[in-house]
Amino acid sequence: MSYTTTINGVSVKITKSNKKDKKLKGEFINSNTGLLNRLHFGYSGMEHYNDKTKLLDKSLNHFDKQRRNNFRSRHNCDNKPKNKITSGILSCNILW
């Protein structure tokens, strides 16, 4: 099962991560190199605001707006670069 979204103009396929300490994995084609990039993101031991992919257990969603604002402020989500994709950008867009 997978979820596809567009982030910063790039199509990203989201699946569950095969790394035990990460929640999700994003796969996309790097426009500079033409190679497939894989980024694992989201610490598996923590809750998140809302999983847009519906791939994770619903009990991990907390819907606490104050926690969301704190996370987004702490990780500078609104000022991330718009010309690349990082695990932080994926986490901000998909989980928070």
pLDDT 10s digits, 11-57: 999 999 999 999 999 999 988 899 999 999 999 989 999 999 999 99
Any idea of the CA torsion for 60, 66, 69, 74, to the nearest 10 degrees?
Answer: -80
Confidence of residue 75 (pLDDT cuts 50, 70, 90): very high
If phi > 0 it is left, if psi is from -120 to 50 it is alpha, else beta; for residue 9 that is left
- Surface-to-core class of residue 89, CB atoms within 10 Å of its CB (0-12 exposed, 13-18 middle, 19+ buried): buried
Question: What is the C-alpha to C-alpha distance for residues 91 and 19, in angstroms, rounded to an integer?
Answer: 16
| pTM exceeds 0.95 for this model | no
